[in-house]
Structure 1
Amino acid sequence: MKNILVLCTGNSCRSQIAHGYINHFLKGRNVAVYSAGIETHGINPGAAAIMKEDGISIDHHTSNHVDEYSHINFDYIITVCDHANENCPYIPSKNALRLHHNFYDPSKLEGTEDEKHTAFLKAREEIKAYFKDFVSEYFRG
């Protein structure tokens, strides 16, 4: 069993979208996916809605603090924002591959509903492409 942790600041948007896509791309594989934040902000409704548009529900996800997973030995720890990468507490996982990619945070946009939707769509597509490549590179076969 491989354990994957996706880490963001508030575990509400980007890490939740990534969590949803990793589960989708690795469905049926011997993998456990976790997402967490260095804070917890709850699931962002815009993130849940934009994922539903792509046929993936993250409604059942919870917003978790990284400390909740200190007992798990992760194979991959992926930070999806600079703040989490710079402020991440020590995670004691032997030989974990640590990856980082800073994704745009659509939850920070103030604007019309159309502008917000466009921002969430842009973030979702960037995250989807990155994690599709991640799965292709590290989970061949």
Structure 2
Amino acid sequence: MTDRPRNVLFLCTGNSARSVIAEGLLRRLGGDRFRAFSAGSFPTGRVNPGAYPVLRSLGLDPAEFRSKSWDEFAAPGAAPIDFIFTVCDNAAGEVCPIWPGRPVTAHWGVEDPAAVTGSEAEVAAAFAAAERRLRRRIEHFLALPPEVLDGPDVRARLEAIGKDTAP
């Protein structure tokens, strides 16, 4: 068991919506037990404006977030990552860098709200749906006791959360 906050990285291809929302949720809900980060394999370079209302609803300033490459977290001197969650199917299938810290990985696929077209209300509803699904999964993750997070079956437990089959 570690006495430092555990580092959690949320990955998505563009790092503009889902992974940023997940980072914000864990920042807000994780207390001092976790440090949240997000990145993308092919970052768009900007956070999708549709994520702003979600971040604001969490009491977070959207200006604190940026779209960045996952290379930042694989570089020499990067903080060791304890857990990595891919939140889009594309990122889950990509060849990832070698991560410092030998993190536990799991896939938590969520529909891309940034891909939704339609009225402002329809787009906002898609972002809200992504936030609800990510919140539920993060709350299940946070409810796991430290001995489970350090246990041999942690990956299976985290994968179950991503399939919405967690108890």
Q: Could you tell me which of 19, 43, 46 is aligned with 2:47?
A: 43
Aligned pair count reads: 139
Query: If the length of structure 2 is used for normalisation, what is the TM-score?
Result: 0.76
Name the counterpart of 1:104.
Answer: 111
Name the counterpart of 2:56.
Answer: 52
**Shift of the alpha carbon at 1:79?**
0.6
* Residue identity in the other structure for 2:12: C
**Shift of the alpha carbon at 1:81?**
0.7
Task: Please give the secondary structure, in 1, of the residue aligned with 2:133.
Answer: helix
Name the counterpart of 2:35.
Answer: 32
CA distance in 2, matches of 1:85, 1:118: 25
8 Å contact from structure 1 (residues 80, 101) kept in 2:
yes
Aligned-residue sequence identity (percent) comes to 30
Name the counterpart of 2:9.
Answer: 5
* Residue identity in the other structure for 1:38: S
Instruction: Tell me: higher relative CO, structure 1 or 2? Use CA pairs within 8 A at least 6 residues apart.
Output: 1
Task: Please give the secondary structure, in 2, of the residue aligned with 1:35.
Answer: strand
Alpha-carbon spacing, 1:47–1:133, altered in 2? closer, same or farther (3 Å):
same
Name the counterpart of 1:125.
Answer: 132
8 Å contact from structure 1 (residues 20, 56) kept in 2:
yes
8 Å contact from structure 1 (residues 50, 124) kept in 2:
yes
Task: Please give the secondary structure, in 1, of the residue aligned with 2:93.
Answer: helix
Query: If the length of structure 1 is used for normalisation, what is the TM-score?
Result: 0.89
| Cα distance per residue 1:69-107 (max 9 Å; x no partner) | 113321101111110010142333344111111101111
Structure 1 unaligned blocks of 5 or more: none
8 Å contact from structure 2 (residues 16, 48) kept in 1:
yes
Task: Please give the secondary structure, in 2, of the residue aligned with 1:40.
Answer: coil
CA distance in 2, matches of 1:123, 1:97: 23
* Residue identity in the other structure for 1:113: E
Structure 2 unaligned blocks of 5 or more: 148-167
Name the counterpart of 2:94.
Answer: 87
CA distance in 1, matches of 2:101, 2:82: 8
**Shift of the alpha carbon at 1:109?**
0.8
8 Å contact from structure 2 (residues 73, 99) kept in 1:
no
**Shift of the alpha carbon at 1:138?**
5.1
**Shift of the alpha carbon at 1:21?**
0.7
Structure number with greater Rg is: 2
Name the counterpart of 1:14.
Answer: 18
| Cα distance per residue 1:12-67 (max 9 Å; x no partner) | 1000000001111112x143221100011111111112232343433311111000
Task: Please give the secondary structure, in 2, of the residue aligned with 1:59.
Answer: helix
